């Protein structure tokens, strides 16, 4: 891993040092990517690696997005149940740019209840009590009269988020079951602006060391989809990540002859500009074994673009391909049983291995640069 020397990374190393020493501090990681991240195993692997590093720290689940309500796969290790009819739209769909809410929450997904509806998120690792929530951020344009808390612990207070993009809920005791019902009003305003829900984020506020890993992943994500999301600054303000990992490029590589390197780079610059001054690490593509050969060439070109972009923009860079052995990395992944038959996606053990390799590289940089 190549990491620059700047204030954002200095803050990251200081936070990690405080966490390791058991001081009162929170380490927040945001992982942005496509189907690798939506599957949930990369985030789960990072949570396990961090928990092994700092076993005294506590953790919340972090981002819990309404994938199942939008009729797509829910990541591993959290479960969504719901009732009612929901219409969903995601950032990878053409209509999203036109239909995402004015006060976008930045989650890349929006679901709309068609009348009265209910949902419940439960995180488990595998025991739900291992992921507790003392504060919940709820992204929705529902007014106070249009939603009701129905979770496992009493709600003590709530306050509106800026720009009417949702609510922050506080509980008397940490909760492990997060349930909310919606009932849209018949007001004139609601008829012109349908009620929407964009997901939730759990955090655990305590006097002890704690950490959280946020999975922001959408199947089929290309860099133009992420760059087109209007709510990044709001999401960053709500999550306050100490480290952002961006692994976007695999779906761009699969475009074959339609891949445009200049457009790819411009979109990445736009995304980085939207995220602001943070400790960001750009992740090269994972190894692939697919036809046509053009996709492999595109993937190699993307690694070069990201390496150069990271150097110019003050970001870190990590090459999965180099870490896994270079040009024949796909063969090693295949022989280890890490790569699925499609030559793109990984098995559970493969994703866990990727998480471990990434964490070890990150830890190596921390040990070299810690205060």
pLDDT by residue (tens digit) across 10-69?
Answer: 999 999 999 999 888 899 999 999 999 999 999 999 999 999 999 999 888 899 999 999
Q: Are 226 and 211 in contact (CB under 8 A)?
A: no
Task: Kindly report the average pLDDT of the chain as a whole number.
Answer: 90
Q: Are 28 and 222 in contact (CB under 8 A)?
A: no
pTM: 0.94
Range of weakest confidence among 52-56, 284-288, 295-299, 323-327: 323-327
Which carries the bigger pLDDT value, residue 214 or residue 130? 214
For position 128, what pLDDT does the model report? 60
Q: Which fold has domain 1-57+208-371?
A: Rossmann fold (3.40.50)
How large is the average pLDDT for residues 60-86? 92
Every domain of the chain and the residues it spans? 1-57+208-371, 60-207
CA angle 164, 119, 73 (to 5 degrees): 100
202: tokens are 């759990």
Q: How far is CA 252 from CA 72, 226, 234, 239, in A?
A: 21, 12, 26, 27
What's the CATH number for 60-207? 2.60.120.1360
Convert 36-73 to b/e letters by CB count within 10 Å (16 or more is b): bbbbbbbbbbbbbbbbeebeebbbbbbbbbbbbbbebe
């Amino acid at each position: 891993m190549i990491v620059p020397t700047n204030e954002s990374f200095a803050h990251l190393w200081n936070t990690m040092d405080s966490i390791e020493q058991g001081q009162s501090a929170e380490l927040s990681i945001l992982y942005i990517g496509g189907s690798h991240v939506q599957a949930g195993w990369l985030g789960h692997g990072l949570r396990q690696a961090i928990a092994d590093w700092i076993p005294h720290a506590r953790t919340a689940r972090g981002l819990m997005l309404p994938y199942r309500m939008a009729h797509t796969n829910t990541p591993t290790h959290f479960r969504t149940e719901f009732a009612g009819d929901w219409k969903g739209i995601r950032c990878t769909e053409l209509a999203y740019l036109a239909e995402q809410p004015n006060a976008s929450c930045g989650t890349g997904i929006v679901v709309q209840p068609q009348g009265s509806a209910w949902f419940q998120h439960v995180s488990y690792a595998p025991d739900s009590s291992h992921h507790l929530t003392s504060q919940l951020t709820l992204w929705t344009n529902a007014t106070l009269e249009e939603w009701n808390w129905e979770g496992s612990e009493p709600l003590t207070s709530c306050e509106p988020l800026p720009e009417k993009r949702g609510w922050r809920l506080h509980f008397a005791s940490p909760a492990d079951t997060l349930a909310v019902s919606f009932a849209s009003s018949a007001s004139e305003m609601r008829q012109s602006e349908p009620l929407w829900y964009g997901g939730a984020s759990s955090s655990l506020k305590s006097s002890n060391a704690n950490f959280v890993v946020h999975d922001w992943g959408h199947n089929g994500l290309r860099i133009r989809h992420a760059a087109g999301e209007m709510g990044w600054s709001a999401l960053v303000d709500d999550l306050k990540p100490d480290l952002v990992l961006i692994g976007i490029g695999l779906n761009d590589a699969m475009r074959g002859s339609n891949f445009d390197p200049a457009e790819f780079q411009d979109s990445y610059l736009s995304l980085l500009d939207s995220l602001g001054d943070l400790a960001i690490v750009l992740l090269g593509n994972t190894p692939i074994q697919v036809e046509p050969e053009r996709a492999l060439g595109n993937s190699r070109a993307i690694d070069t673009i990201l390496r150069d972009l990271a150097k110019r923009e003050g970001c870190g860079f990590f090459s999965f391909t180099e870490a896994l052995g270079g040009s024949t990395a796909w063969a090693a992944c295949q022989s280890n049983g890490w790569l699925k038959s499609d030559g793109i996606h990984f098995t559970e053990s493969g994703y866990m291995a990727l998480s471990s390799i990434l964490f070890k590289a990150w830890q190596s940089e921390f040990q070299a640069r810690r205060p």
